[in-house]
Structure 1
Amino acid sequence: MKVLTHWNPFREIHELQHRVLNALGTSANATGERESTAVAEWVPVVDIIEDEKEYLVKAELPEVSRENVHVTVENGRLTIKGERRFEKEEPGKKYHRVERSYGNFVRSFNLPENVDAEQVGAEFKDGVLFVHLPKQAKAKPREIEVKIN
């Protein structure tokens, strides 16, 4: 299975800058106001497993609600996207460290030719998304007897 990963060097530079400023306690937003939390785009980790019947994509999506996850299959491409929202700040709570990433995420994968796109299914359990990509039945080779005249 071919995997295409989109790399955005500017996002990585921005995240590094944000982490350094946040660690120093000098993080500020575009208007110059001090930010109390870090919100960044993130990429969930996935495992892709194959057996004789299907490909299985397992994506870790902790604290993401099922309503915030969208799975699509279009033109030979599987796309998983959604959002992990940051907790609302409450009076009396003070965050000392925020290391987990929040915000929108997108993962896309090219599907092998033998995936039956009409039968793709997904389930969400214990913070893990399972996307089942069944394989199409292979046409069995047929042996033809050659007659000699």
Structure 2
Amino acid sequence: MALTRNSGLQHDMPQSFSSMLDRFFNESLNTRTVSAFTPHVDACETEKGFELELALPGIRKDDISIDFQEGKLTISGERKLERKEDNRRYHMIETQYGSFSRTFYLPDNVNPDQIKANLVDGILHVSVPKDEQKTLKRQIKIGSDATETKPAQKQKRVAEASENGSAVTA
């Protein structure tokens, strides 16, 4: 009797190359779901705003929605699987299809009225400019202590002094 090392793979190994190919194609088709699609995103910040680029090959601009609400920019859409009925039998589908939604949380210093988007060669470019009024540096003057008389009180004292006929220095 010959001893053979059991690695646990023997029972899973196909008996022929043909059955291995069949198994490969069937498993790869069955493990992919049509409803999971997450586009790749490149996001950066510049001095003037935020730039987003989403890879959306094969998606029409009519199938994309961009919404901004309460500091959240949401880009959603759908990449539809259009099967052609010309007796094709797919062995492998690696392209992702289905609906997607990506949400980006932006700071308070953006100007939502100036958000622009365009779709060129399957890349969605979204530009979110910063609001210049919110990003300007402002110098805040500090008032002096509470013993200083306010301008309204100064005018009142001058008016009282003129009625009495005596001069009051405020």
Verify: 1:119 aligned to 2:91, yes or no. Answer: no
2:73 aligns with one of 69, 74, 78 = 78
Greater percentage in helix:
2
| Cα displacement (A) at 1:56 | 0.3
Which stretch of structure 1 is more off in the superposition, 95-104 or 134-143?
Answer: 134-143
Partner of 2:139: 142
Q: Is contact 2:25-2:91 (8 Å) kept? A: no
Deviation at 1:132, TM superposition (A): 0.5
2:46 corresponds to 1:51: yes
| Residue 91 of structure 1: how far off its partner (Å) | 2.0
Q: Is the 8 Å Cα contact of residues 38 and 98 (structure 1) preserved in structure 2? A: no
TM-score by length of 2: 0.62
Q: Which has the larger radius of gyration?
A: 2
Distance of 2:99 and 2:93 partners within structure 1: 17
Unpaired segments ≥5 residues, structure 2: 1-23, 145-170
What amino acid sits opposite 1:23 in the alignment?
E
Structure 2 CA distance for partners of 1:90 and 1:38, relative to 1, 3 Å: farther
Higher relative contact order (CA 8 A, sep 6+): 1
Q: Distance in 2 between matches of 1:91 and 1:38?
A: 22
Q: Percent identity?
A: 34
TM-score (norm 1): 0.70
The alignment covers a number of residue pairs equal to 119
TM-aligned CA deviation for residue 140 of structure 1: 2.8
